[in-house]
């Protein structure tokens, strides 16, 4: 897929007019990641997906289906579920205002003083308004569009590429939401290029090779970058022995780094081989993954606002959310998901040569006292003050992004000027432009 550099103007990051067009032509027309299927595991489980001016209830009905409805009472428009109750389990949804109640499938169930509605209570008009919904590898997507692109077409080949990771078997281990003073696209742009990595992420050169990353472009605005892991950045001198990050990776797989006598540049292959040897022994199923997938980080940017970074044991879903009214603000959200070993298989598993138990990067078996982590809401100031972290790397990005937005406001800046290494940024904006042009 050929990309042409268009060096788009800064207005798209600043103007409320552009944000309004984005809402009408894109956010309300595309597919959006709403949350995790594991959060609606049993009938009555629900969560809210709040985006822009909308709030959407995703719930599992009594018949076991997962459904999505606008979170608005059909009587006089009150929100049914308040933001502080954004996740839970309900018998029914009861409006706090005049106590109309709705079944889990959205149908209007009870109305106080029903006989006082002389104009009737037609159920087809007064049941909650549903949205299109798809479950994809354990992730729930919704669309507000009346005629969304067919979901399979939207995801294209990415569906099959992700299948061997078994994302539906992952467990949520952290859930964070950080408010920030930049446009949501500035966040996406940041995660759509590795050009900045050498300059603001000093640790990366000790465990990944960003300069040689490979990029793919898909229809509908998605992109992929494949970054080799278990290696070092070859733009810097190759160290004499594996870096601390590489040693940690080796020992997490049961390889004693002190006994590793291969070349530093062969650690990646050693990781791949060790995972092949361990395949199936702890309940980890590596069988469908390529050698590269075993050792590397594959990061999909799913249009419009999702960064899905996958490895066999850990996946991070990051989401940039538009602010309801201010295009110069956004929320950055992160779901950390771990592939835990099967505890039964852990017990039977062989130990390493020095008889130490094998501990995987994912931390071994799921803790018996596991509880879904509560969503932690905070502001980017908390990260800058060092009170909160979203990983060292993301903290480094967050430190910078407010300054990008501030700079864009300047009279001394007119348009972004992209390099060939920022083509994934271009691809996102091209698809956004296409949707906005169609919607005009």
| Sites of contact with ligand FES (CB under 6 A) | 73, 75-76, 78, 95, 97-98, 100
Q: Is the CB of 99 or the CB of 384 nearer to Fe ion?
A: 384
Q: In this chain, which residue has its C-beta nearest to Fe ion?
A: 397
Point out which residues pair with 79 in neighbouring strands: none
At its nearest, how many Å lie between Fe ion and the CB of residue 416? 16
Lookup result for tokens 């590795």: 194
* Binding range to Fe ion, per CB under 5 A, among 98-106, 210-218, 245-253, 395-403: 395-403
At its nearest, how many Å lie between ligand FES and the CB of residue 39? 25
Burial of 281 (0-12, 13-18, 19+ CB in 10 A): middle
* Binding range to Fe ion, per CB under 5 A, among 26-34, 117-125, 157-165, 391-399: 391-399
Give the number of other Cβ atoms within 10 Å of residue 346's Cβ: 19
Q: What is the distance of C-alpha 193 from the center of its chain?
A: 17
Reported as type and span, the H/E element at residue 135 is: strand 132-136
Which residues, in sequence order, are CB contacts of 55 under 8 Å at separation 6+? 48, 49, 70, 71, 72, 79, 81, 83
Residue 298 contacts residue 224 (beta carbons within 8 Å) = yes
Task: State the Cα–Cα distance between residues 428 and 192, nearest whole angstrom.
Answer: 9
At its nearest, how many Å lie between ligand FES and the CB of residue 397? 42
Q: What are phi and psi of 119, to 5 degrees?
A: -90, 5
Q: Is the CB of 113 or the CB of 146 nearer to ligand FES?
A: 113
Q: Is the CB of 313 or the CB of 397 nearer to Fe ion?
A: 397
Point out which residues pair with 309 in neighbouring strands: 299, 316
At its nearest, how many Å lie between ligand FES and the CB of residue 137? 36
Task: State the Cα–Cα distance between residues 293 and 167, nearest whole angstrom.
Answer: 14
Selection from 187, 167, 165 nearest residue 177 by Cα:
187
At its nearest, how many Å lie between ligand FES and the CB of residue 82? 12
The torsion angle over the Cα atoms of residues 187, 188, 191 and 192, rounded to 10 degrees, is: -140
Helical H runs in 36-91? Answer: none
The angle subtended at Cα 336 by Cα 366 and Cα 349, nearest 5°, is 30
Question: Using CB distances below 5 to 8 A depending on partner kind, what does residue 75 bind out of ligand FES, Fe ion, none?
Answer: ligand FES
Q: Is the CB of 76 or the CB of 92 nearer to ligand FES?
A: 76
* Binding range to Fe ion, per CB under 5 A, among 18-26, 61-69, 349-357, 396-404: 396-404
Q: Is the CB of 128 or the CB of 210 nearer to ligand FES?
A: 128
Question: Using CB distances below 5 to 8 A depending on partner kind, what does residue 98 bind out of ligand FES, Fe ion, none?
Answer: ligand FES
At its nearest, how many Å lie between Fe ion and the CB of residue 399? 10
Question: Using CB distances below 5 to 8 A depending on partner kind, what does residue 397 bind out of Fe ion, ligand FES, none?
Answer: Fe ion
User: Does 63 sit behind a cis peptide bond, omega within 30 degrees of 0 on the bond before it?
Assistant: no
Site string for Fe ion, 408-427 (x = CB under 5 A): --------------------
- SS3 state at 277: helix
Is there binding between residue 397 and Fe ion (CB under 5 A)?
yes
Q: Is the CB of 129 or the CB of 389 nearer to ligand FES?
A: 129
Reported as type and span, the H/E element at residue 379 is: strand 376-379
Question: Using CB distances below 5 to 8 A depending on partner kind, what does residue 95 bind out of Fe ion, ligand FES, none?
Answer: ligand FES
At its nearest, how many Å lie between ligand FES and the CB of residue 110? 10
At its nearest, how many Å lie between ligand FES and the CB of residue 113? 11
DSSP secondary structure, 249-274, as one string: HHHHTT--GGG--S-GGGHHHHHHHH
At its nearest, how many Å lie between Fe ion and the CB of residue 200? 6
At its nearest, how many Å lie between Fe ion and the CB of residue 344? 39
Q: Is the CB of 95 or the CB of 210 nearer to Fe ion?
A: 210
Q: Is the CB of 209 or the CB of 397 nearer to Fe ion?
A: 397
Question: Using CB distances below 5 to 8 A depending on partner kind, what does residue 132 bind out of ligand FES, Fe ion, none?
Answer: none
Residues present in the chain in total: 440
Q: Is the CB of 313 or the CB of 396 nearer to Fe ion?
A: 396
Burial of 14 (0-12, 13-18, 19+ CB in 10 A): middle
Q: Is the CB of 53 or the CB of 121 nearer to ligand FES?
A: 121
Where along the sequence are the contacts to Fe ion (CB under 5 A)? 397
């Amino acid at each position: 897929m050929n990309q042409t550099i268009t060096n788009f103007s800064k207005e798209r990051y600043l103007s409320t007019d552009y944000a309004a067009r984005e809402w009408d032509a894109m956010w309300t027309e595309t597919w959006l990641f709403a949350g995790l299927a594991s959060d609606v595991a049993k009938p009555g489980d629900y969560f809210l997906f709040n985006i822009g001016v909308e709030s959407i209830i995703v719930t599992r009905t009594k018949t076991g289906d997962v459904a999505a409805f606008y979170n608005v009472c059909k009587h006089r428009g009150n929100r049914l579920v308040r933001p502080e109750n954004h996740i839970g389990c309900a018998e029914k949804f009861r409006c706090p205002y005049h106590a109309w109640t709705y079944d889990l499938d959205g149908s209007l169930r009870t109305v106080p003083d029903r006989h006082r509605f002389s104009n009737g209570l037609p159920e087809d008009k007064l049941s909650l308004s549903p949205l299109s919904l798809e479950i994809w590898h354990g992730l729930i997507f919704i669309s507000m569009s009346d005629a969304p692109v067919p979901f399979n077409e939207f995801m294209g080949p990415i569906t099959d590429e992700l299948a061997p990771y078994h994302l539906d078997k992952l467990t949520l281990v952290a859930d964070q939401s950080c408010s920030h003073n930049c446009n949501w696209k500035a966040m996406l742009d940041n995660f759509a290029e590795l050009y900045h990595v050498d300059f603001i992420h000093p640790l990366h050169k000790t465990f990944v090779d960003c300069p040689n990353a490979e990029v793919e472009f898909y229809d509908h605005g998605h992109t992929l970058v494949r970054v080799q892991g278990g290696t070092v950045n070859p733009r810097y001198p190759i160290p004499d022995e594996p870096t601390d990050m590489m040693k940690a990776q080796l020992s997490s797989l049961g390889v004693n780094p002190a006994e590793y006598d291969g070349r530093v540049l062969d650690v990646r292959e050693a990781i791949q081989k060790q995972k092949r040897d361990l395949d199936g022994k702890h309940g980890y199923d590596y069988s469908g993954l390529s050698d590269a997938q075993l050792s590397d980080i594959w990061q999909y940017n799913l249009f419009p606002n999702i960064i899905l970074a996958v490895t066999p044991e850990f996946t991070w879903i990051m989401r940039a959310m538009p602010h309801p009214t201010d295009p110069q603000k956004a929320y950055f959200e992160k779901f950390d998901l771990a592939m835990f070993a099967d505890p039964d298989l852990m017990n039977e598993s062989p130990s390493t040569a020095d008889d130490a138990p094998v501990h995987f990067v994912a931390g071994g078996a799921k803790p018996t006292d596991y509880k879904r982590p509560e969503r932690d809401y905070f502001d980017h100031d908390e990260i800058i003050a060092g009170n909160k972290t979203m990983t060292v790397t993301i903290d480094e990005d967050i430190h910078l992004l407010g300054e990008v937005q501030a700079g864009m406001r300047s009279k001394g800046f007119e348009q972004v000027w992209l390099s060939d290494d920022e083509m994934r940024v271009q691809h996102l904006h091209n698809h956004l432009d296409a949707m906005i042009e169609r919607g005009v």
